[in-house]
Structure 1
């Protein structure tokens, strides 16, 4: 594995301040990561800077599905359905351990939705547009079949159902794997580097001024082309560039709540209607089930987006209406997350009616900005941006065509689902003597792919001398410190592992021990250690902000 760590930062800063780059990407979410990989793999000298951590914003706060855009059929956006539906198959092939097939149950009721036959036709169109394989195409169900799939459903309402294909992922992990793959292809990438201004040559953007959020150092980065892929912050950079004219962003908030699985013990992922006409997901994942999402206008602090009491109540009521026997309350919520969708504003349209299409803005000074779009469509968005950069600046160069359709993510990827399953079974066998939770092997493989073997070997060296659960967490930390540019305690416990969302009790149990491990690695003094713990505690408190 290629080293990519905090201790590499001085070398990376030196590279960033050296010769001009062909392309500089601002923003380390899924879109920026995809652009960096596409550009570097075609032969462009690429750099990327992120003001906080990779996937800090929207790219760690989605529904965590690489889905085909079934809801976009209602908006008659057939082109979008076709593109994202085709793309999810591509991304699954690139990282089959991280983009996992998930059959979704769509219950049909007497009072909600499109009805049995319209749904059947819609799903058939969805399968055709998305290029779904024969074995994964929609299957319509009777009422009895639907209730066998999910006995918790409100029986009086159900008139049938359907099973259709989706893919589950971890958005932050997917972003991280793309970042690492881009680094392997020569991109120079660094988190905690905030752009403070643009540099101009002959009234054209030729670089940026930045501040390192960890060292406090300020420096400049020169580049022929500068691309802003900053999601909800795109308009802020357009303002700095004095080019925020015409179309603008319209931010909407999506909230997810996390419940212990025994509180909502659904047998599989479900996509269901709620009373206001929206549809929400309930997705089992190991020891928890998560539910989402909302879709409301947002004008608050983009760096601190949280669930409100209304958000939590809306989702709990939606669950209780659909699954009346579970009797959820807001007090049952274990954790939550809230993210922003950077959509393109359209007068007269509500949050749910706005298109999820991406759009590229070019300023008179040459700044290229991209906004909108979906997690599923990151690769095609990146391709369009890099095509534009090449057209504007590098048409005379003999560059490779787009490579990312076949470029596997991570250094040791799998050839398909069967190999992933075999790898999980073998890891389960190795972990069995240590009496860890049954979902541990799947968690490790879905997060780290074949790199889980390296983590397991590290775990084995420590398991005899301490609790197995702590030994495994330390082994993950070791991997993320050395190969995934973890710079803070929160980087590890929030975005690299997802534990603050999916296993908060484990975070509360071991956070101080893990913080002390970080203290040794980063050479923090006690004041810095306390600050790191305080920052994590503040974030954890925000997950329960609705109480």
Structure 2
């Protein structure tokens, strides 16, 4: 089988070496969901695009969110009706373009005694939510009494419960969504490189940006590149890059940390997601997913390491206390937590407001040298914001470009399904292929969640490995690594076990048993020497252990 379409690590060195001879229309700095969306929007308008990311794709905030494409219900509390309207409608577009990754899920919003929002206010809020988001009739909310709510979710605390709103949100895997957007951008002619840092800019005689120096973080080699337009989509690092361009003060950014805890599903066996108020103005999610339930999130000021924010003991205790108050029969404690993650949000500073009160609005800035920077924003609204950024670039740098954004109706990689019926038919075909070839059928739903219509490529490769003598588990593992390396730019164990498969978060208990095989397969596939293999293993083990370390908060 030839290499599948996508981003291949095997071609990476050749692509880097050819960069100096290229002239790009647009260079996007940042490989999270925002940068990915901009790259796709620009490439689908026939602009020549290079995207670079200093870490792995989606290594920052774009793999550390609550993993929901939600309509911004809580933003109604701040009367941000325009934001709610925009993101609620965006989620419908994303569901249409990537149905394997953006799936509707029922959610309960409990109405509690002695809280600021009673039964009537909740009903009115959900009605407004349905109206602003043009929610389809099958997904519109309904209000439930206490008895019906407890029938749906018996674990809820009856002492505080008055009833609930029952509505739909959309679940995703943020890292996988970012990868599918990047792969689609690559299919439209973009060049996407991870572990490639922009170290400096260069300027023409008019003091306008026209080039940059890139450094390959794997080899240390540097490369000069040229472009007409540079777009800064680095999320929490946006002001750092703006200062690198010009020593002027950028927008006021306020970094906040959001953490999530993972517990086994049997310790909190919810029947649907629950979204509820907690003291301090925050709202908390409890989201069941396959064999786990994850809990979050917080919204606390953050000034630490942006690349590796940690979940400390205080963070975990705060979430567990709130969860135990809502679900007292669970009686969760820190020993129940099997994994965790923390992400950093970059909010536009609004003096005098608490983190939870600061708007999730976005802004586009243009420096005197022509650097376009985007700050703020959120996962759900990435596509529309990317369209606005490229429109700004078109107005400033490409006035002759007439082509408008194509992404509203652009199917993402893996999303080749017209409706749910086609997805079910595809799943049945994959199950038949698995059963025929002795592959584990219980893995099919998870594979389709991850890879969508590309699952057949993984299964066909697994069948080939099995025919060559590999046992069932190793054959499928080798096939997933093959796909991660040849189509999704994976370069090390952490790339695969965190952002390509989500195993560190959702199946951490399995990692210890398969880690030697994963290391062996990577070493063979990428030609690592023993020193490189040991370094990749140790780098991952540090992250593996950090997921349950829960150190004391630093004063």
> Would you say how many aligned residue pairs link Structure 1 and Structure 2?
545
The match for 2:318 among 287, 294, 314 is 314
Equivalent position of 1:267 in the other structure = 271
- The aligned residue for residue 452 of structure 2 is 449
SS at match of 2:305: coil
User: What is aligned with 2:16?
Assistant: 13
Q: TM-score, normalised by structure 2?
A: 0.95
Contact 2:8 2:487 in 1 (8 A): yes
Match of 1:471 in 2: 475
Counterpart CA distance in 2 for 1:348 and 1:385 is 29
3-state SS in 1 of match to 2:106: strand
Rounded to whole Å, the distance in 1 between the matches of 2:537 and 2:430 is 32
C-alpha deviations, 1:504-538, integer Å up to 9, x for none?
Answer: 11112111211111111111111111000000001
1:4 Cα offset (Å): 2.5
Quote the residue 2:253 is aligned against. Answer: 249
Unmatched tracts of structure 1, length 5 or more = none
Equivalent residue for 1:350?
Answer: 354
1:85 to 83, 88, 99: 88
Please name the residue that 1:231 is paired with: 235
**435 and 193 in structure 1: CA distance in 2 versus 1, 3 angstrom threshold:** closer
Secondary structure at the counterpart of residue 81 of structure 1: helix
Match of 2:399 among 371, 389, 395: 395
Displacement, 1:430? 4.2
- Give distance in 2, aligned partners of 1:393 and 1:247: 23
In structure 2, do the counterparts of structure 1 residues 469 and 162 end up closer, same or farther at CA, with 3 Å as the change threshold? farther
Moved more, 422-431 or 508-517: 422-431
Could you say which residue in structure 2 is the equivalent of 1:99? 102
Tell me the distance in 1 between the aligned counterparts of 2:18 and 2:6.
Answer: 16
Could you say which residue in structure 2 is the equivalent of 1:292?
A: 296
**Equivalent position SS for 1:294:** coil
What secondary structure is seen at the aligned counterpart in 1 of 2:409? coil
Q: Tell me which of 410, 413, 422 is aligned to 1:410.
A: 413
| Secondary structure at the counterpart of residue 376 of structure 1 | coil
TM-score for the superposition, normalised by structure 1: 0.97
The residue aligned with 1:541 is: 545
Equivalent pair of 1:97/1:417 in contact (CA under 8 Å): no
- Cα 1:3/1:355, change in 2 over 3 Å: closer
Q: How does 1:139-178 map to 2 (within 5 A)?
A: 139-178=142-181
Does the residue aligned with 1:352 lie in a helix, a strand or coil?
helix
Residues in 2 aligned to 1:86 and 1:442: alpha-carbon distance in whole angstroms: 27
Task: State whether residues 12 and 189 of structure 1, in contact with CA within 8 Å, keep that contact through their aligned partners in structure 2.
Answer: no
Equivalent of 2:496, from 492, 496, 521? 492
Shift of 1:545: 2.5
Deviation at 1:463, TM superposition (A): 4.5
Q: Secondary structure at the match of 2:271?
A: coil
- Cα distance, 1:144 vs. partner? 0.9
- Residue equivalent to 2:282: 278
Q: Is the 8 A contact 1:61 1:337 kept in 2?
A: yes
Q: Is the 8 A contact 1:3 1:483 kept in 2?
A: yes
392 and 350 in structure 1: CA distance in 2 versus 1, 3 angstrom threshold: same
Alpha-carbon RMSD across the aligned residues, in angstroms, is 1.6
1:28 is aligned to 31
Contact persistence 2:98–2:415 (CA under 8 A): no
Aligned position for 2:306: 302
- Judge which range, 242-251 or 269-278, deviates more: 242-251
Tell me by how many angstroms 1:151 deviates: 0.3
1:380 corresponding residue in structure 2: 384
Note the C-alpha offset of 1:273. 1.8
Q: 1:429 to 1:107 in 2, by over 3 A?
A: farther
SS at match of 1:311: helix
Among residues 109, 112, 122, which one is paired with 2:112 in the alignment? 109
Instruction: Give the match for residue 213 of structure 1.
Output: 217
- Aligned in 2, Cα 1:362/1:333: closer, same or farther, shift over 3 Å? same
CA distance in structure 1 between the partners assigned to 2:519 and 2:407 by the alignment: 37
Shift of 1:110: 0.9
Aligned counterpart for 2:529 among listed residues 525, 528, 532: 525
- Structure 2 residue corresponding to 1:186, chosen from 182, 186, 189: 189
Alignment-derived partner of residue 324 in structure 1:
328
- Can you list the C-alpha shifts for 1:41-64, whole angstroms capped at 9, x where unaligned? 011111110001100100000000
Distance 2:130 2:435 in 1: 40
How much has 1:16 moved relative to structure 2? Answer: 2.5
> 1:335-374 residue pairs with structure 2 within 5 A?
335-374=339-378
1:437 Cα offset (Å): 7.5
- 1:46: which partner in 2? 49
SS in 2 for 1:17: helix
Deviations 1:240-280 (A, max 9, x none): 11254252211100000111101111111111122333111
CA distance in 1, matches of 2:512, 2:57: 23
- Matched with 1:424 is 427
Cα distance change, pair 163–190 in 1 and its aligned pair in 2 (3 A):
same
Partners of 1:165 and 1:319 in 2: CA distance: 21
Secondary structure of the residue aligned to 1:375 is coil
